[in-house]
Structure 1
Amino acid sequence: MNLTVTAAAVDWFRQEWGCEAGDTIRFFVRYGGVSTVQDSFSMGIAKEQPNEIGLSTTVDGITFYMEKDELWYMNGQGLTVDYLPATDEVDFKLT
């Protein structure tokens, strides 16, 4: 399993959330919403400190992560986080 955050997504986090080196961004599982990853669940995003990192990547000094107890969501696959300018949305795909 790996976590990939594209340059477009990193730029979006810098512009929209004011992220800078040293910040931590959590991707978490939430019940409900629309997802191509798991039925009845979707991904949420929060700017918060980690508790128990299960998967992470650092891009331009910003650490993106998922907690260990939420890795079930990925079914053993990797996760790519991208930004789609056409819809102005952050996109999550299993890889």
Structure 2
Amino acid sequence: MKINISDEALNWFIDEMGLKAGDGVHFYGKVYGKTNVHDGFSLAMQVKKPADPEYELKLKDISFFIEHGDIWFFSGYNLNIDYDSAIDGPKYTFVDE
């Protein structure tokens, strides 16, 4: 389980979410929606500092992380995040570990 973020997606997070050094982005699963590997659940995120991270990626001193209680949603997968110019936002793709 890991997170990969393209440079373009990282810049989108910084610009659109107003992130600065020391901030964090928590990724987790929520009910309703779907991903390329989940039906009935979608990916959610919120700006907050890590409390009990199971996985953490630091880029430009910003933490992108998954908390211990959210492992079920990411188990067996890596999360790739790219920038999609068609939607002017991030595109999330789960791939097998």
Q: Which runs of 4+ in 1 moved over 4 A?
A: none
What is the CA–CA distance in structure 2 between the aligned matches of 1:66 and 1:82, rounded to whole Å?
A: 18
Which runs of 5 or more structure 2 residues have no equivalent in the other structure? Answer: none
Give unpaired runs (5+ residues) of structure 1: none
State how many pairs are aligned. Answer: 95
Please name the residue that 1:32 is paired with: 32
TM-score computed with the length of structure 1 as normaliser: 0.89
Distance 1:60 1:37 in 2: 29
Which residue number corresponds to residue 89 of structure 2? 89
The aligned counterpart of 2:80 is 80
- Identity among equivalent positions (%) equals 27
1 or 2, which has the higher strand percentage?
2
Q: Structure 2 length as normaliser, TM-score?
A: 0.88
Give 1:15 shift: 1.0
Q: What is the alpha-carbon root mean square deviation over aligned residues? A: 1.3
Deviations 1:7-50 (A, max 9, x none): 11110011111111111011111101232131100011100122
Distance 2:17 2:36 in 1: 25
Are 1:37 and 1:74, in contact at CA under 8 Å, matched by a contact in 2? no
C-alpha distance in structure 1 between counterparts of 2:37 and 2:57, whole Å: 20
